[in-house]
Amino acid sequence: MRIGIAGFMHESNTFNPLRTDRAGFAAQSLTFGPALLDEWRDAHHEVGGFIESAKGLGFEPLPLLMAWAMPSGPVTDDVFDEVVGRLIDAVRRERPDGLLLALHGAMVAQSQLDADGEVVARLRHALGPDLPIVLTLDLHGNLSERLIGHSTAAVAYRTNPHVDQRECGRRAASLLVRQLRGEVRLCQALGKPPLLVNIMVQDTSKEPLRTFMEEARAREGRPGVLAVSLLPGFAYADVPQMGPSVVVVTDGDAALARKEADELSARLWDARERLNATLPDAATAVGQALKAERTPVVLVDTGDNVGGGSAADSTVLLAELLRQGATDAVVCLYAPREVEECARAGVGQEVRLSVGGKVDRLHGDPVSVRGRVRVLHDGNYVEPQVRHGGKRVNHMGPTALVEIEGRNLLVLTTLRHPPFSLGQLTCLGIRPELQRILIVKAAIAYKAAYAPIAGTIIEVDTPGVTAVNPHRFAYRNVRRPLYPLDS
Ligand SMILES: [Zn+2]
């Protein structure tokens, strides 16, 4: 048994104007042939799971290619066409008995709103109907009927954060090997309930999603059902297939696959309100923070999620804090020019600054403040604990701490810096646990650092490129009606 191993993976945010080009793949992984074995064998990744499975399942792995780039805007047509073309060439050359292919499921190319579906459709048209193709998919994939129709079977991760990627690769390999041995006859169906699942409720270990993941496991135990995948999907993609997907793989029973996919889809539809929890706006959230008894109150600026690639200088919450007379709050802003102004003025001196709202027009307007420079710092600090991103030595560039009205503190940095470590504050002499309000520009990843000290956490529906409220985006290509856009 000879099985081709390949991957072509990208999570494309169609609201991001940057393009992901050949250099974007080459900088991460654009690997052809046997070199991918050494690169991916030990990775906590489905391709590592494919490779690992070869020995136990008794097949010869044929390494074809691996292309992976950091999440960003859509993929350019030239690298998309090149990778798919070289994959087809490699399969024709090596003539495997079957193909294990790792896709993300939320790839968009310049000319392909359904790039993953296009990959499999081109493979199918070039290689014919008989080659078994088993896919692995990221839990954030937005799956199309074309993708499922042209593949033999597909399985997705079951966890978010994704900690089961290797296992997902092993499951795919097992299905393909059973098919090649003639033990099963893979067939599958796709369910697409007409809703989207908000990014803030996509933690698979928490409700409401946890119950659905458990239900998928329970359905998998039914006679004839080989795999049930539930993908909540990726809402930063203006494509027809955006939204959750249910993929059911059965042993030769198309009607059973259809029935199971439809039932689980209906259950998601019934829970659509819980899968789209709405967050308070800035004014409401600041009002709640001022009344909260357990401090510090962490206000989560989800629209300006620095780790998700946003501006880092949103003033929406700062302006609201000042408007409502908040005191003892800490706000971090990317403000390189204002840091220079503070440095020129010197520690202890009074400054008048216009901070934030300068990177783009999506994150509020600059705010005029008057205050005193308390600290000037080189912006380097060490985080000794385990934190999201795994960084120890951190650089936020030359940094100024400015105290403004109401004993409120502005941390102005020269580099965009995500709130993954309290070191960002403690290195300046701030004791975050004694403050009343802390603004963090993040969605989930801040929690490892801030949850242990937070008295109250309030996630806020703020504007920006990482806004979690889908009503803030102008969708043109999604299928309609789609809950909650058309509720
Ligand atoms: Zn993902």
Q: How far is the CA of 76 from the centre of ligand 1 (A)?
A: 21
Q: How far is the CA of 461 from the centre of ligand 1 (A)?
A: 22
Is the confidence at residue 392, as pLDDT, over 80? no
pLDDT grade for 309, boundaries at 50, 70 and 90: confident
Q: How far is the CA of 104 from the centre of ligand 1 (A)?
A: 8
Q: How far is the CA of 311 from the centre of ligand 1 (A)?
A: 22
Q: How far is the CA of 71 from the centre of ligand 1 (A)?
A: 10
User: Which letter, b or e, does each residue of 417-451 get, where b requires 16 or more Cβ atoms within 10 Å of its Cβ?
Assistant: bbbbbbbbbebbebebeebbbbbbbbbbbbbebbe
Q: How far is the CA of 101 from the centre of ligand 1 (A)?
A: 16
* pTM summary value: 0.86
**How confident is the model over 123-134, as a mean pLDDT?**
98
**How confident is the model over 169-193, as a mean pLDDT?**
98
Is the confidence at residue 386, as pLDDT, over 80? no
pLDDT grade for 277, boundaries at 50, 70 and 90: confident
- Structure token pair of residue 256: 């059973």
- Structure token pair of residue 264: 């689980």
- % of the chain residues with pLDDT over 70: 99
Q: How far is the CA of 245 from the centre of ligand 1 (A)?
A: 14
Is the confidence at residue 388, as pLDDT, over 70? no
Choose between 132 and 162: higher pLDDT. 132
Query: Looking at residue 444, what is its pLDDT?
Result: 82
Q: How far is the CA of 359 from the centre of ligand 1 (A)?
A: 27
Cα–Cα separations (whole angstroms), residue 326 to 129, 409, 474: 65, 11, 33
Query: Looking at residue 389, what is its pLDDT?
Result: 57
**How confident is the model over 401-406, as a mean pLDDT?**
98
Q: How far is the CA of 372 from the centre of ligand 1 (A)?
A: 43
Is the confidence at residue 383, as pLDDT, over 90? no
Query: Looking at residue 156, what is its pLDDT?
Result: 98
Q: How far is the CA of 157 from the centre of ligand 1 (A)?
A: 9
**pLDDT tens-digit profile of 199-256?**
899 989 999 999 999 999 999 999 999 999 999 999 999 999 999 999 999 999 999 9
Q: How far is the CA of 106 from the centre of ligand 1 (A)?
A: 9
Is the confidence at residue 390, as pLDDT, over 70? no
Average pLDDT, the chain: 95
pLDDT grade for 415, boundaries at 50, 70 and 90: very high
Q: How far is the CA of 140 from the centre of ligand 1 (A)?
A: 5
Q: How far is the CA of 456 from the centre of ligand 1 (A)?
A: 28
**pLDDT tens-digit profile of 35-70?**
999 999 999 899 999 999 999 999 999 999 999 998
Q: How far is the CA of 162 from the centre of ligand 1 (A)?
A: 7
Query: Looking at residue 177, what is its pLDDT?
Result: 98
Q: How far is the CA of 174 from the centre of ligand 1 (A)?
A: 23
Q: How far is the CA of 102 from the centre of ligand 1 (A)?
A: 13
Q: How far is the CA of 233 from the centre of ligand 1 (A)?
A: 9
Q: How far is the CA of 269 from the centre of ligand 1 (A)?
A: 22
In this structure, what is the dihedral angle of CA atoms 270, 272, 273, 274, given to the nearest 10 degrees? 90
Query: Looking at residue 360, what is its pLDDT?
Result: 86
pLDDT grade for 391, boundaries at 50, 70 and 90: low
Q: How far is the CA of 30 from the centre of ligand 1 (A)?
A: 20
**How confident is the model over 344-368, as a mean pLDDT?**
96
**pLDDT tens-digit profile of 71-117?**
889 999 999 999 999 999 999 999 999 999 999 999 999 999 999 99
Task: Report d(CA 85, CA 70) in Å as an integer.
Answer: 21
